[in-house]
């Protein structure tokens, strides 16, 4: 009996040792511990033993069963560990692989110029307002002292949608809207798109303007000159000088144009400033009292100044861009220079 147990143990353990995978191990379990397995058969045969030998024999067979079970369990654990390790190895990701390089975007020169101007005005305490691009004749012209038959309408080649609705030709429409709903003191800018039927190297049918409006008690042309001088210096450089030249707009009286000394030649005269030493940058003026009254603001108590600046023009001057169309062609080689 003991000999038989020894034999089973040694044959089982050598078979278990030789096992290569879990399937083979399963076969071995069946062979020894299954319903018709060798060890199971041994246990069944116990009933043939004389009763006094039975407990000892039973003890030995149980020990044998536990040993074989343990061997199988240990081998099973070891095989699963090896299998898991192999799987991990196979599925390994090489994190050192270099990735495809990403194209970096950048801001468009118009956006760069706009942001710089907006930030300069915010620094002086201005609010930023918005208004619709599809506008009524009323806000784009009439409220700004440009009635239906006014000759000044010729200055702005207008895209009409109907007799009363148009694409705004100037951000000045937002002055009219702001004055109608706010009480002075008003200090606002409005950057946005405007439209005129015009297309050449210095004009585009869609371009960007930024309107500015200040209304308060005692505002005069010195406030206008001081504020615009400050902004021009922050945009074009500390060294530049500014001057006001008389002009005409129906909604301002007096009206002016602001020139900056040419930053290319320092005012000596060059191609950029056409030999004059000065570059025209924007239109401005003291808000016509009629316009204040149209919007319900008492012109005997309040006065104001307004200005409108072309953002493309500022970007072209600052970055030395010779043709406005470059700004709209979106040639990546051109745009990449201004990131
Ligand atoms: N709206 C004028 C233009 O487009 C500019 C301007 C704005 C002039 C405000 C005076 C005051 O030419």
Which residue's entry shows tokens 């201004």?
338
Q: Quote the pLDDT of residue 151.
A: 86
Could you report how far apart the first and last alpha carbons of the chain are, in Å?
A: 92
190 neighbors 117 (Cβ within 8 angstroms): no
Q: Quote the pLDDT of residue 113.
A: 95
Under CATH, to which class is 109-338 assigned?
A: alpha beta
Contact 32 CB / ligand 1 (< 6 Å): no
Burial of residue 229 (CB within 10 Å: 0-12, 13-18, 19+) is middle
Is the pLDDT reported for residue 227 higher than 80? yes
Is the pLDDT reported for residue 168 higher than 80? yes
CB 182: neighbour CB atoms within 10 A?
Answer: 16
Q: Quote the pLDDT of residue 15.
A: 87
CB 194: neighbour CB atoms within 10 A?
Answer: 24
- Confidence at 195, pLDDT banded by 50, 70, 90: very high
Dihedrals φ, ψ of 134, to 5°? -90, 115
CB 293: neighbour CB atoms within 10 A?
Answer: 13
H or E element, residue 120: helix 109-123
Which residue owns the Cα nearest ligand 1 atom 5? 308
What's the average model confidence in pLDDT over 211-225?
97
- Confidence at 312, pLDDT banded by 50, 70, 90: very high
How far apart, in Å, are the Cα atoms of 43 and each of 15, 35, 65?
Answer: 21, 11, 9
What's the average model confidence in pLDDT over 195-224?
94
- Confidence at 196, pLDDT banded by 50, 70, 90: very high
Measure the CA–CA gap between 289 and 271, rounded to whole angstroms: 40
Mutate which of 249, 253, 287 for ligand 1? The one with the most ligand atoms within 8 Å of its CB, which is 249
Question: What is the DSSP-derived secondary structure letter of residue 160?
Answer: B
What count of residues does the chain have? 339
Q: Quote the pLDDT of residue 36.
A: 87
Give the distance (Å) from ligand 1 centre to CA of residue 166.
17
Contact 288 CB / ligand 1 (< 6 Å): no
Q: What are the tens digits of pLDDT across the range 36-50?
A: 888 888 888 888 888
Q: Quote the pLDDT of residue 101.
A: 83
Is the pLDDT reported for residue 2 higher than 80? no
Mutate which of 157, 203, 208, 251 for ligand 1? The one with the most ligand atoms within 8 Å of its CB, which is 251
Q: Quote the pLDDT of residue 339.
A: 74
What's the average model confidence in pLDDT over 323-336?
91
Give the distance (Å) from ligand 1 centre to CA of residue 307.
6
Give the distance (Å) from ligand 1 centre to CA of residue 268.
28
Contact 145 CB / ligand 1 (< 6 Å): no
Contact 285 CB / ligand 1 (< 6 Å): yes
Q: What are the tens digits of pLDDT across the range 173-190?
A: 999 999 999 999 999 999
Q: How many DSSP H helices and E strands does the chain contain?
A: 12, 9
CB 13: neighbour CB atoms within 10 A?
Answer: 15
Give the distance (Å) from ligand 1 centre to CA of residue 50.
122
Give the distance (Å) from ligand 1 centre to CA of residue 329.
27
Contact 306 CB / ligand 1 (< 6 Å): yes
Contact 194 CB / ligand 1 (< 6 Å): no
The three-state DSSP-derived secondary structure of 261-325 is: ECCCCCCCCCCCCCCCCEEEEEEEEEECHHHHHHCCCCCCCCEEEEEEEEHHHHHHHHHCCCCCC
247 neighbors 286 (Cβ within 8 angstroms): no
Give the position, in ligand 1's atom list, of the atom nearest the Cα of 308.
Answer: 7
Give the distance (Å) from ligand 1 centre to CA of residue 316.
19
DSSP string computed for 27-88: HHHHHHHSTT-HHHHHHHGGGGS-TTTHHHHHHHHHHHHHHHHHHHHHHHHHHHHHHHHHHH
CA 155 to chain centre: 38
Average pLDDT, the chain: 91
Q: What are the tens digits of pLDDT across the range 248-292?
A: 999 999 999 999 998 888 889 888 888 999 989 999 999 999 999
What's the average model confidence in pLDDT over 129-152?
94
Give the distance (Å) from ligand 1 centre to CA of residue 272.
23
Q: Which of these, 68, 66, 67, 72, lies nearest to 25 by C-alpha position?
A: 72
Look at the pTM and tell me if it is higher than 0.75: no
Rounded to the nearest 10°, the torsion over CA 301, 135, 118, 155 is: -80
Q: What are the tens digits of pLDDT across the range 66-78?
A: 988 998 899 999 9
Written as six digits, the tokens of 73 are: 């369990």
Q: Quote the pLDDT of residue 97.
A: 77
Rounded to the nearest 10°, the torsion over CA 64, 65, 67, 70 is: 180
Give the distance (Å) from ligand 1 centre to CA of residue 338.
28
What's the average model confidence in pLDDT over 99-122?
91
Contact 191 CB / ligand 1 (< 6 Å): no
Sorted by where each begins, the domain ranges of the chain are 2-90, 109-338
């Amino acid at each position: 009996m003991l000999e038989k147990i020894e034999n089973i143990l040694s044959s089982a353990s050598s078979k278990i040792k030789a096992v290569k995978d879990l399937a083979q191990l399963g076969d071995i379990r069946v062979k020894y511990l299954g319903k018709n397995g060798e060890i199971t058969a041994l246990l069944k045969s116990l009933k043939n033993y004389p009763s006094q030998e039975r407990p000892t024999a039973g003890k030995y067979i149980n020990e044998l069963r536990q040993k074989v079970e343990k061997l199988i369990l240990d081998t099973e654990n070891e095989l699963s560990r090896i299998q898991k390790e192999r799987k991990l190895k196979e599925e390994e990701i090489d994190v050192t692989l270099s990735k495809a390089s990403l194209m970096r975007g950048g801001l468009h020169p118009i956006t760069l110029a706009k942001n710089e101007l907006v930030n300069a005005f915010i620094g002086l305490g201005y609010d930023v307002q918005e208004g619709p691009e599809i506008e009524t004749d009323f806000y784009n012209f009439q409220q700004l002292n440009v009635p239906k038959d006014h000759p000044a309408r010729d200055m702005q080649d207008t895209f009409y949608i109907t007799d009363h609705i148009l694409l705004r030709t100037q951000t000045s429409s937002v002055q009219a809207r702001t004055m109608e709903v706010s009480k002075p003191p008003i200090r606002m800018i409005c950057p946005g798109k405007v439209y005129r039927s015009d297309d050449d190297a210095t004009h585009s049918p869609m371009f960007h303007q930024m309107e500015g409006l200040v209304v308060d008690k005692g505002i005069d042309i010195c406030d206008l000159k001081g504020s615009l001088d400050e902004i021009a210096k922050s945009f074009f450089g500390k060294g530049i000088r500014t001057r006001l030249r008389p002009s005409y707009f129906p909604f301002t009286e007096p009206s002016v144009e602001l020139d900056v000394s040419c930053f290319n030649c320092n005012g000596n005269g060059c191609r950029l400033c056409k030999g004059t030493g000065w570059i025209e940058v924007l239109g401005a003026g003291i808000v016509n009292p009629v316009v204040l009254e149209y919007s319900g603001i008492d012109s005997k108590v309040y006065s104001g100044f307004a200005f409108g600046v072309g953002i493309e023009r500022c970007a072209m001057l600052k970055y030395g861009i010779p043709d406005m169309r470059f700004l709209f062609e979106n040639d990546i080689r051109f745009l990449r220079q201004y990131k």
